Amino acid sequence: MKSILFIACTCLATIGFAQTKAPAKPAPKAAAKPAAQKVQPPASAPLLKSFKDSGSYGLGFKVAENLSSQQLDQLNLDLFQRGMKDYFEKKKGLLTDEQADIAISEMMRRNQATVADRNKAAGKAFREELAKKQGVKSLPNGILYEVITQGTDTSKPTLTSRVRCHYKGTLVNGQVFDSSVDRGEPATFPVNGVIRGWQEVLPLMTVGSKWRVVIPSELAYGDGQAGALIAPGSTLVFEIELLGIEN
């Protein structure tokens, strides 16, 4: 299980004191001790009654955001809040640690399966519609591809080749989850070191070619969560430009 970690950031304020000009006489008076100054609050005041209240709400919101990213948003909130309350009030829990771990794992498994089924259905509908588009071709394994640019080089990589590529990866809704183009630096990697969908496609491309590729979940990350954006069962869309073969 992933742990939810929060890092509290402390802001340091530097207070400057005005300096008084020394008098011209040879025996100046000792400078008076500056009066204590109040530390000014941050420019943005808390939206709630106090910083404690705002911070407490903020932590709760971030916990929910983190859980949601792990497909754990279908909770019984009354019992979730009771569990937190019982812990903070040092009450005996309703479950042992072992029971809690088993229950959490099973809940995560079931939630993940539900999300995967939903995303697989959405991916299938997306691919079926895209397959009707002129210029889109399909492979026996279910991958769809469209040649954007055909390279003039005849060289093709093998599974053991090391290649240099530019790429952009999106979900079927168009959300970008990774892009070497945005980073401004091509990626270099062995063909057999990436997801199966890429291993199937790259050996078909010639150097200089740019393809748009749609990869079913079973040839991508399957029913697992991959990072914050790629949910279980996700069909992935890539624009891949094969820049060169390193070996």
Residue 73 bears catalytic tag: no
Q: Are 196 and 151 in contact (CB under 8 A)?
A: no
Residue 238 bears catalytic tag: yes
Q: Are 167 and 195 in contact (CB under 8 A)?
A: no
CA distances in angstroms from 200 to 141, 183, 232, listed in the order given: 9, 25, 21
Residue 178 bears catalytic tag: yes
Residue 117 bears catalytic tag: no
| Per annotation, catalytic residue among 167, 223, 230, 240 | 167
Cα separation of 31 and 28, whole Å?
A: 8
Residue 57 bears catalytic tag: no
| Per annotation, catalytic residue among 143, 223, 230, 238 | 238
| Per annotation, catalytic residue among 145, 178, 215, 223 | 178
Provide the b/e sequence for 135-157 (b: ≥16 CB within 10 Å). Answer: eeeeeeebbbbbeeeebeeeebb
Contacts of 128-132 with CB under 8 Å at 24 or more apart are 130/214
Q: Compute the radius of gyration of the chain from its Cα atoms.
A: 29
| Per annotation, catalytic residue among 80, 126, 189, 195 | 195
| Per annotation, catalytic residue among 145, 221, 223, 230 | 221
Could you write out the DSSP letters of every residue in 113-180? HHHHHHHHHHHHHHHHHHTTSTT-EE-TTS-EEEEEE--S------TT-EEEEEEEEEETTS-EEEEH
Write the single-letter amino acid at 122.
Answer: A
Q: What are phi and psi of 71, to 5 degrees?
A: 60, 35
Task: Indicate which residues carry an active-site annotation.
Answer: 167, 177-178, 195, 221, 238
